[in-house]
Chain A
Amino acid sequence: MPPEQDIPGTPIFGAAAAQRGYALNRMCFSLNDAANRARLLADEDGFCAEFGLNAEQRDAVRRRDVLALLRAGGNAYYLCKLAGTFGLNVQDIGAQQTGVSVEAFKAKLLQAGA
């Protein structure tokens, strides 16, 4: 099986993460439904328990920590639905993962096109 991360800073979502992250990703997938988004925001503990998140996943959700969510098996496309439920867009999570301010992250993107 190919390595999960041999490109620096670039997790590959393959067999290992897909199995490890199944419960977390299933919860994120459920957030396509507005009623589930409301339930998560109203009772985060109960909602995470319902989907069977393990302690590492539960803690990563609690801390809104995207790198930890990825380590716990989260898939980027599904995690976007969780981030969106918490009011975070892709610039917000990009800044968080790279350890810079949102403004600095946006500036770096603009610089790429300059």
Chain B
Amino acid sequence: MAVIVGGIGTSHVPAIGLAIAQGRQQEPYWKPFFDGYAGARDWLAMAKPDVVVVLYNDHGLNFFLDKMPTFAVGAASAYHTADEGWGLPVVAPFPGDPDLSWSLIESLAGEDFDLTTCQQMLVDHAFTIPLELLWPGDQRPVKTVPISINTVQHPLPSPQRCLRLGQAIGRAIVAYPKDVRVLVLATGGLSHQLEGERAGFINTAFDKLCMERLVDDPEFLAHHSVREFVALAGSQGVEFLMWLAMRGALGEQVHRVHGQYHVPISNTAAGLLVLEPFGARSTSAAA
């Protein structure tokens, strides 16, 4: 049977991808940020996931306003990147896991989640950068299942709905009959806002609250409305929806393995959080 080894939440700022492409990880601006990912990689080396379910939001690469799905699940054998219009290099395609994808789709639809299924799906920086941070270089030992949540066009799914989606994803994964180890990765946030007279808005107090309460009381955060998230975390800070879904997949109790909070990266407060379901083996194996 499949097992959920843990969950990771991380920001996905495009500038990180440029810094990786330009080899600037050791420059003073970037070093503290990149150094924080060593803890996540150390944990991954023990947790050894085979597949990563990536919860992210498309930024206008695959989806346009002609058809804007609330929840879109990839069901392809490979996911390609493409030019996003502002200079991020195109990277090698990421292998998919269509069998797990369709199993998730069946299970989620069975729990009344109405999905868009995508046998072709371009993935953007929100998908690629976190995987590059967690597995630097071109080779990574994991297959992927992308799940995109709409944060482009309101109405967005509510935080409560995203937490429930994550819980259903968790049930779908543990019901999957193959012996695979699954990591649930959420990308986006933390507080930031690109547009309007409030551009550059960052709210460190709320970010820290989110990173703390996500561990032990995600329902508290899920009771905020989308509007409250926009007010407290900025227009794009609402990308925390992905983190709520990730947390939902991990079950009732989790253990915080590693975390980092670094401000700023570009216009964004950058967060990293590694969580393990209570009773998962990798931490105890390391002890």
Contact = CB atoms under 8 A, between A and B. Distances in A.
A113 B199 contact: no
A78 B85 CA distance: 10
Contacts of A37: 85
A99 to B, nearest CB: 8
A7 interface: yes
Nearest to B228: A7
A20 B124 CA distance: 26
Interface size class of A (residues with CB under 8 A): 35 or more
Given A7-B230, A75-B153, A77-B59, A94 B267 contact: yes
A67 B197 contact: yes
B90 to A, nearest CB: 11
Interface string A17-50: 0100010011011011110010000000000000
| Interface majority SS (helix, strand, loop, mixed), chain B | loop
B196 A90 contact: no
A93 interface: yes
Nearest to B122: A32
A10 B264 contact: no
Contact of B195 (A2, A97, A108): A97
A90 B204 contact: no
B196 A97 contact: yes
B60 A112 contact: no
B202 A18 contact: no
Contacts of A13: 152-154
B197 A31 contact: no
Select the residue from B84, B200, B266, B269 with max chain A CB neighbours within 10 A.
B200
A22 B199 contact: no
| Interface majority SS (helix, strand, loop, mixed), chain A | helix
A112 B204 contact: yes
Contacts of A26: 64-65
A113 B33 CA distance: 12
Contact of A32 (B65, B84, B194): B84
Interface in B134-157: 152-155
Given A7-B227, A94-B194, A105-B200, A113 B154 contact: no
Contact of A7 (B87, B231, B267): B231
Interface in A76-92: 76-81, 83-85, 89-91
B236 A76 contact: yes
27 contacts: A2-B154, A8-B197, A9-B197, A9-B201, A10-B230, A10-B231, A12-B227, A14-B155, A25-B65, A31-B85, A32-B61, A66-B195, A70-B195, A75-B153, A76-B194, A77-B60, A80-B194, A81-B84, A81-B85, A84-B87, A85-B85, A90-B194, A97-B195, A97-B196, A98-B197, A109-B200, A113-B264
Interface of B: 59-61, 64-65, 82-87, 152-155, 193-202, 204, 227, 230-231, 234-236, 262-264, 266-267, 269
Those 10 A-B pairs whose CB atoms lie nearest each other, nearest first: A84-B86, A113-B263, A9-B198, A9-B197, A81-B85, A14-B154, A76-B195, A112-B202, A109-B264, A94-B199
Interface of A: 2, 7-15, 18, 22, 25-26, 28-29, 31-34, 37, 66-67, 70, 75-81, 83-85, 89-91, 93-94, 97-98, 105, 108-110, 112-113
